[in-house]
Amino acid sequence: MSKQANLPVNRPPRTKLYTSLGLLVVIITSSGLYIGADPMIFFNNWGNMLDLIVQMFPPDWGYFATVTPAMLDTIRMALVGTTFGAIMSIPVMFLCSRNVATPVWLHQTARILLNILRTVPDLLLAAIFAAILGFTPLAGIVALSIFSIGIIAKLSFEAIENIESGPLESMTAVGANKIQWIVFGVVPQVLPQFASYVLYTFEINVRAAAILGLVGAGGIGIFYDRALSFFNYDQVFSLILYTLLVVVIIDFISLKIRERLL
């Protein structure tokens, strides 16, 4: 038996592990107490939740035909918003990458702007553009496009920074310019991940687009708002089931496509 087989395995000290877990519990508990997240409120109102669930059954199956055009609009909003967002995220992800935009001031400035973009919630974006562009699906498309840039550019620039540097060094040695360096050295390595991130963002945007109508940005969210306003919980449950069905189908198709890309 070799000497290496007898070497002790270095494990983190138990004291450090228990201290970290204890600190985590204290932080979570103190945060809940500070904001007044009393679990007894949930249990005291359990009867109201049961009443709401009872009112949801049986779902209004005929409502599916009524909301199908709005559901198709929701999918179209997600598709167009994701497409525009993916296109606009391409220059952003290169500017954020340290191995492409080598000046520190350049990629740091681009990252700060990207972080600002990612800070604004999609519902707030939809409300802002609904006020500017009117209560139409266009407001939702613009909001989803901006929202998509934040996700795709963030994941993609991290993928760019982790690509193999060998081909890039070889191209630099033979005198390739920056454009050639990106097109033939960076893009082929990061393209599968980029496509996967776009599909992942499309899945997220379908869910997000389903509720943008609550702020007047079009799609099936308008029917959610209407059903909730009139306490038609059987219709609300139908909308939930319909949205779930669409999301499951899109997730399955997207997963199969990503499996072929990666």
pLDDT means per 10 residues, the chain with 262 residues, are 51 75 87 77 74 79 84 88 92 85 82 86 81 80 89 88 74 70 78 87 84 72 80 85 86 79 66
Tokens matching residue 85: 């967002």
The predicted structure's pLDDT at residue 176:
67
Q: Which CATH number fits domain 63-261: 1.10.3720.10, 3.40.50.920, 3.90.550.10, 3.40.50.300?
A: 1.10.3720.10
pLDDT in tens, 178-198: 777 777 777 788 888 888 889
Domain ranges of the chain: 63-261
The predicted structure's pLDDT at residue 120:
82
The predicted structure's pLDDT at residue 59:
81
| Residue entry with tokens 């308008």 | 222
Q: From CA 122, how far away is CA 143, in angstroms rounded? A: 6
Peptide bond into 91 cis (omega under 30): no
Pick the closest to residue 211 from 223, 200, 199 (CA basis): 223
Pick the closest to residue 133 from 144, 143, 123 (CA basis): 143
The predicted structure's pLDDT at residue 130:
80
Peptide bond into 8 cis (omega under 30): no
Q: From CA 149, how far away is CA 198, in angstroms rounded? A: 10
